[in-house]
Amino acid sequence: MALMDQLTEAGRALARPAASKTGLHESVAAQLIPVAMAAVMAALTKNASRPKGADALANALNAHDGGLLNDLDRAGQDDVIADGRKILGHAFGAKQDGIEAALAKACGGLDAKQVSAVLAMAAPAVLAALGRAKRDQSLNPKSLAELLAEQTARDQAAAPQLSGITQLIDAPTKESKGFGRKIFGGLFGRKAPN
């Protein structure tokens, strides 16, 4: 199965456990999950484009074989969320709080803690899909970085408003906290609150 198909399928399956864990309505969680996955993919793409970044990601994927994709109800468990928070720390670095706050505002003023929890549930699913792709396609670090770049470009072509995620990730750390509304506007078709 292609990476995009795995991510789409995982996103649908994550909506129920994400809603249960965060208190979000399931339809809101279903809209937020692809955004969260795209944010994680964009950060991984940027990191993999740096020297030794693709090697580090390829090594990290050795612990993510795709098994989570077979039981995404586990995504709401504390150990999976803790793993997701570690992944986000590596992927977003010092920008994590700003990215979470910006996504919360851009998504119609959601609570940043809810967005943080959804991101933490989405991150292990993204790594599981990448880990499966790495294994099934025998990807080396260079081809893994190329796959990430292709997928991120496809995401942005399919939903141009997601290009704001890359801009946010590329913004200097101190600017990322106030950047979300400017970049995303109303990601869910609603105007983001001031």
- Selection from 105, 118, 109, 110 nearest residue 39 by Cα: 118
Q: What is the mean pLDDT of residues 167-188?
A: 56
**Considering the entire predicted model, what is its pTM?**
0.86
Burial class (CB in 10 A: 0-12, 13-18, 19+), 145: buried
In a domain, 191, yes or no: no
- Phi and psi torsions of 178, nearest 5°: -100, 10
pLDDT at 190: 46
In a domain, 194, yes or no: no
In a domain, 8, yes or no: yes
Q: Give the residue with greater pLDDT, 143 vs 179.
A: 143
In a domain, 54, yes or no: yes
Q: Residue 10's domain spans which residues?
A: 3-184
Q: Does position 184 have pLDDT exceeding 70, yes or no?
A: no
Q: Which residues contact 17 (CB under 8 A, 6 or more apart)?
A: 72, 73, 74, 75, 76, 121
In a domain, 190, yes or no: no
What's the structural domain count of the chain? 1
In a domain, 35, yes or no: yes
